[in-house]
Structure 1
Amino acid sequence: MGRGPSIEARKNAEDARRGKIFTKIIREISVAARAGGGDPAGNPRLRSAIDKGLSANMSKDVIERAIKKATGELEGVEYEEVRYEGYAPGGVAVIVDCLTDNRVRTVADVRHAFGKFGGNMGTEGSVAFMFRKLGVLSFAQGVDEDALTGAAIEAGADDVVVHDNGAIDVLTAPEAFGEVKAAMEAAGFRADIAEVAMRADNDVVVEGETAEQVAKLLRWLEDMDDVQAVHSNADLGDAAYA
């Protein structure tokens, strides 16, 4: 009978995963604080980034240090926001949002990822027109649909989408995201995932080996340190969880 990974190996893998998550959140906090100031009460983007950090068990000291670096109280690295667009196998549109201190390195890494898995980098605007920017509050299956829908309407959400597996997404305008999220939480509904994201107007169904290649590309991109978010219009079916 084969042996699985040791406890130490699993712990090291988990630490590495947590480290990547922290890196991404710290960059988001830094850019948000630099752009809109270090007071989360008047900076919704910073408030959202701080919430992500706290949800990931990031300490308040780490969060405060990132804010101070961004606002000039401590010496820190300056990041810029860049977006890359392209196509994965099967005609799947992909948007890659990055925060980087070295644009040359980042574009090379993203281009390599597309090529490695049979995709192609596109020009600016080549796929973005297929997406809309939305606030998304995602709830796992098992939540009371009627109660959640009522709370979402009361909170001012634009739409409620019930998926075949029972999961529910509450959609908002980006500028209303923070207010709707707070109202939903006050009503007793805390989302499993809460973010402002790019949502495709129409999904592209891909299957078999093509779906596996697309899933590998998306996971590879998501795992890159410089990448903050990956958006696609792929409907991968079971390949999304492989």
Structure 2
Amino acid sequence: MAGHSKWGNIKHKKAATDAKRSKIWTKLIKEMTVAARLGGNNTGSNPRLRLAIEKATDANIPKNNINRAIQRGVGDVEGWHYEKIRYEGYGIHGAAIIIDTITDNRARTLAEVRHALSKQGGHLGTDGSVAFLFEYIGQLLFAPDTPEEELIEVALAAGVDDVITNNDGSIKVIFQPNNFAQIKATLEAAGFKSELSGVTMQPKTEVKFTGSQAINMQKLLDALENLDDAQDVYTNAVIISE
């Protein structure tokens, strides 16, 4: 099915990520530690850890650092004191926002999230206030120059739930999160490497922003993503460039 343009938003997010590359290692190490603590160090039975290790490898984190993070998570290394906390809130015009954090200081993280929201015109909500507006999915996003028909054929044969071609030519493949590793490997084996991949929370409805409101909403999202303890930020806001 067809979808509206997403590529500009993805390029913006990737550029922002590249600009704060020094923080990426810290966030990925935290994620591996928490994933190992919650699901153990066996990547075969812990898909969250497997995905975290894959991202860490792509970010060129040394193997020793990866192993140390996993060992800390399962208790083989002293000093582990991170916890995963989710905050839910609202942006401009009530746009829904979810902020997943990993922190060693609840009070500090709560204060920073609340400040980032309020400074840019948003506010913190209660647990469950916006989570129902999202659903977990696995996704792969491919650049606009990807051969559409060939990708669709391989993706559907691999058992994906949907293939969405956006107006800008980018293609998003959606599937059940527990099939992430298998589907990604199948598509890569067929020569299709995604620009963005992962397990994410997809909004069931969207709120579109243009003009000055789009700029302000993007500032709010950037402020949240730049927080040291923020791991992922999800929103149903769609920023439309003019």
Structure 2-normalised TM-score?
A: 0.89
Partner SS for 2:76 = coil
The offset of 1:15, in angstroms, is: 9.4
User: Aligned Cα RMSD in Å?
Assistant: 1.8
Matched, 1:83 2:90: no
Instruction: Give 1:88-127 correspondences, 5 Å limit.
Output: 88-127=91-130
Q: Which runs of 5+ in 1 are unaligned?
A: 1-13
Verify: 1:36 aligned to 2:43, yes or no: no
User: Residue in 2 aligned with 1:179?
Assistant: 182
Paired position in structure 1 for 2:6: none
Question: Post-superposition shift, 1:85?
Answer: 0.9
* Superposed displacement of residue 54, structure 1: 1.0
Higher Rg: 1
* Partners of 1:38 and 1:67 within 8 A in 2: yes
CA contact (8 A) 1:90 1:210 kept: no
For residues 76-225 of structure 1, the aligned pairs below 5 Å read 76-225=79-228
Q: Which 10-residue stretch deviates more, 73-82 or 208-217?
A: 73-82
1:21 maps to a residue whose letter is: I
What SS class does the counterpart of residue 157 from structure 1 fall into? coil
- Identity across aligned pairs (percent)? 47
- Residues in 1 aligned to 2:39 and 2:193: alpha-carbon distance in whole angstroms: 26
Listed one character per residue, the Cα deviations across residues 157-195 of structure 1 (whole Å, up to 9, x for unaligned) are 101111111111110111222221122222222211111
Q: Which has the higher contact order (CA 8 A, sep 6+)?
A: 2
Question: Distance between the aligned counterparts of 1:24 and 1:175, measured in 2?
Answer: 22
Cα deviation, residue 18, structure 1: 2.0
* TM-superposition CA deviations, 1:83-133 (whole Å, max 9, x none): 111111122111111111111111111000110000111111111111111
Instruction: Give 1:213 shift.
Output: 1.1
**TM-score with structure 1 length normalisation?**
0.89
Measured against aligned partners, the alpha-carbon deviations of 1:10-43 in whole angstroms (never above 9, x if no partner) come to xxxx998222111111111001111111122221
- CA distance in 2: counterparts of 1:194 and 1:147, whole angstroms: 19
Quick one: distance in 1 between partners of 2:18 and 2:175?
34
What SS does the corresponding residue of 1:161 show, helix, strand or coil?
strand
Partners of 1:77 and 1:41 in 2: how far apart?
A: 23
Q: Residue 48 of structure 1 is aligned with which of 39, 48, 51?
A: 51
Moved more, 106-115 or 31-40: 31-40
Work out the CA distance in 2 between the residues paired with 1:204 and 1:15.
26
* Superposed displacement of residue 155, structure 1: 1.2
Aligned residues: 227
